[in-house]
Amino acid sequence: MNIIDIINKTKRQTELSADEIAWVVDGYTAGEIPDAQMAAWLMAVRLRGLTERETSALTLAMLRSGSYVDLSGISAVTVDKHSTGGVGDKTTLIVGPAVAACGAAVPKMSGRGLGHTGGTIDKLESIPGFRTELEHEEFISVVEKNGFAVTSQSRELCPADKRIYALRDITGTVDSIPLICSSIMSKKLAVGADCLLLDVKYGSGAFMKTSDEARRLAGLMESTGRAAGKRVRADVTDMNAPLGSCIGNALEVREAIEVLQGRISSGQLYDTCVQLGADMLELAEQGDNDSVNRIRKAIADGSALEVLRRTIEMQGGDPGVCDDTSLLPQARCSYTLRASSDIRVNSVDCEELGMVSLILGAGRLSSGDRLDPTAGIVMECAPGDRLAAGAPILTLYSSLCSDFSEAAVRALNAIDRSACRIAAY
């Protein structure tokens, strides 16, 4: 085979065989195809696309480049969830325990965040003592005993994806639906759960900006997973506003615990988690027409919170945070933005708020950057709210940043607001 021929075929939208795609992936992973030629092929894919069959072949080739996770030691049906990411997305911390409390097993391998906020691993590491690097046997043991565990992703999983993604990142080829699909699905298939729920987000705070783009990606991911023999479902969810009121690692853990404590029982975060949890139960064939109510009950009766408490304890963390969230790291500095006059909040630029949280220390620009677990934003209002002069709009938190001037200006500019009159009583 010849890489130039393969590049030209993709440029002309001539379908590649599974063997040709495997040859490209194996050759690049082994260092036999140089970056320049691989970049040319990736750009051809970005501009011309891949067929559904080519995307499945690319996913499987990347999957086979590394090791697999063996979940055979878990007796219950295993169901995984993956989110394409967003601002304030702490659903795993709520959905995982709730689904486990209903009888399914949720073995979660997660990564660290790169960008405006931390990943699930970063959030959990804000819990004092919590260990996210578990040996395989310990990970399986926690899931078997408790139904839910979270560990950091093995370096041996999908090494091809790591090399290819690094090249995509510097060549302007990240925003390709077939490449996004193969990157996500190769890693999720390597984890080896029986079922997989995909939470594909769209909006200002998501990678996919429109619902049409998100539905295209969701459909491709579903078909790719099914072609690999998995039970897969994709939900398309809105990320035009932060999911919940908190953005930032310890802040998001606090909010997730408040949901499981029953203190938050309505709103977009709660409703999204209930629906995701119900869909996971149905995928795992642990649900019925009452799946939504089963998830609600697991939250309301405290059984989901108990699963999280045991997970934290079994992974070395302080389970006391489930009763007292003040045990989580607390920011040394804060600043509240207030309305200068009566206003109506029309909308928020979710992505920009994510960047503000990055400035405060909640995210990282490169893998070696240090996170501030206390940093982030608490939204004091939501789109559609009317605020009187002096009312809080949002509060900024940080332990590394004491000068909030840049963050405050950007945060205020991220709030689309208009003047209104609030009647006095």
Catalytic residue numbers read 82, 161, 168, 183, 187
Radius of gyration of the chain (CA): 22
For the record, the structure tokens of 425 come out as: 């009583």
Strand ordering across the sheet containing 231-238 = 79-83, 195-202, 231-238
Amino acid identity, residue 42? Answer: L
Q: Which residues contact 394 (CB under 8 A, 6 or more apart)?
A: 336, 337, 377, 378, 379, 380, 381, 411, 415
> In 87-144, at which residue ranges do the beta strands (DSSP E only) sit?
106-110
- Parallel, antiparallel, or unpaired for β 195-202 and 231-238? parallel
Amino acid identity, residue 256? Answer: A
d(CA 93, CA 257): 8
Nearest partner of 162 among 82, 66, 56, 50, judged by Cα: 66
Which residues are bridge partners to 67 per DSSP? none
- C-alpha of 200 from chain center: 9
